[in-house]
Structure 1
Amino acid sequence: MTSSRSVADLITALTREVADFPEPGIQFKDLTPLLADARGLAIVTDALAEIASGADLVAGIDARGFLLGAAVALKLGTGVLAIRKGGKLPPPVHSQTYQLEYGTATLEIPADGIDLAGRKVVIVDDVLATGGTLAAAYRLLLAGGANVTSAAVVLELSALPGRAAVAPLPVTSLQLI
């Protein structure tokens, strides 16, 4: 078991900050170095899996959430549901359009082929900022009949209203900045 402080320190050390991406004024938090580090990925996966224990299904949000969600699902012995960006899945789909810091986007999940009714689902993603993406994923899963128990993110930007945007969904972040 790794302490929460050492997990947070590891995340800080392996997060790259990119100024003015994808638009001027945005300070992008890139977790690619963390995902590429075997020890970092293992430690973060273990910490996220501890948060998600008891889930029947892990939902990972496009795209880094796919990687994290799949790793957590393997650790827990569950399946993983990829919540995709709009236009990437064949019909029929459930879709949800939402606001980003710098525009709008759409998320989708299959409308058939996966029975979500009553399944305990934990959403996994990389960064919680304004909360639009996570809130859209939450609404999509609820529309599909899932019992969304919580969300787990690697990094949360506390100066932004992400947590409030997803209320009442409980969110646990491994690193709060």
Structure 2
Amino acid sequence: MRSVSPSEFFKSQIRTVRGWPKAGVNFRDVTTLFHNPQAFRMAIDVFASDCERRPVDIIAAVDARGFALGGALAYHLGKPFVLVRKKGKLPYKTISESYQLEYGTAAVEIHMDACKPDDRVLIVDDLIATGGTLLAAAKLFRELQGNVIGVAALIDLVELGGSQKLRAAGLNVHALCEFAEDE
């Protein structure tokens, strides 16, 4: 029997919903991975192992599926957890950063006290697409003088170029698997 690589295992745990939310889109549904305790635990263990090699002070996660990953990782590591939310969703003083979408703009924000200068921050999300949200989140932490050591995601949609943009911005990128557009 052929052994399966970690990347292949994680890919096998993610459902592809074709034609959603519109024709021509292949939506990568990570809720199936979350539903499998073994796969979810393995994903968190892999990210935690990476954090042991590159020390982290704060785990930040992007609204909303990133919260499941980031919260579990922060708990596992015993680290503070910071929410990166869509604009207007946080109750205290915030800073925000806008970024481009395919049609228009969006913005994310964090609390003003999300990190201290030189805190090492890892930003977690479910997937890397164009990189806009993760770049905006990194800019916010850098504005607070945090040291964004990288980003972690279950999926890299390589053809959309986000991981390249993140690396060009000086960020380490760790994705557990990649999907091509036609897979």
TM-score normalised according to structure 2 size:
0.87
2:148 corresponds in structure 1 to 148
User: Which aligned pairs between 1:1-150 and structure 2 lie closer than 5 A?
Assistant: 6-53=5-52, 54-112=55-113, 114-150=114-150
Compute the displacement of 1:117 (Å): 1.4
Does the residue aligned with 1:163 lie in a helix, a strand or coil? helix
Shift of 1:115: 3.7
- Secondary structure of the structure 1 residue equivalent to 2:160: coil
- C-alpha contact (below 8 Å) 1:23/1:102 kept by paired residues: no
Q: Which runs of 5+ in 1 are unaligned?
A: none
Give, in whole Å, the separation in 1 of the partners of 2:98 and 2:19: 24
- The Cα shift of 1:20 comes to 3.2
Q: Using the TM superposition, give the Cα deviation of residue 22 of structure 1 relative to its aligned residue in structure 2, in angstroms.
A: 3.1
Give the 4+ runs in structure 1 shifted more than 6 A: none
> Quick check: 86-95 or 98-107, which moved more?
98-107
Amino acid at match of 2:39: G
Q: Deviations over 1:69-106 (max 9, x none)?
A: 11111121111111111110124211011123454221
Unaligned ranges ≥5, structure 2: none
d(CA) in 2 for partners of 1:55, 1:163: 20
Note if contact 1:100-1:133 (Cα within 8 Å) is conserved in structure 2. no
SS in 2 for 1:159: helix
Please say if residues 7 and 43 of structure 1, whose CA atoms lie closer than 8 Å, have aligned partners that are also in contact: no
Distance 1:143 1:23, change over 3 A: farther
Cα distance in 2 between the residues matched to 1:107 and 1:23: 24
Counting matched residue pairs gives: 172
User: What is the deviation of 1:140?
Assistant: 1.0
**3-state SS, counterpart of residue 96 of structure 1:** strand
Distance in 2 (alpha carbons) for counterparts of 1:154 and 1:28 = 14
* CA distance 1:50–1:132, shift in 2 (3 Å): same
> Which residue, 168, 172, 175 being the options, matches 1:173?
175
Deviations along 1:3-59, whole A, 9 cap, x unmatched? xx5332222112111233334433211101101111111000101111223101111
The change in CA–CA distance for 1:51 and 1:102 in structure 2 (over 3 A counts) is: farther
Once residues 57 and 152 of structure 2 are traced to their aligned partners in structure 1, the CA distance between those partners, rounded to angstroms, is 15
In structure 2, the residue corresponding to 1:148 is in which secondary structure? strand
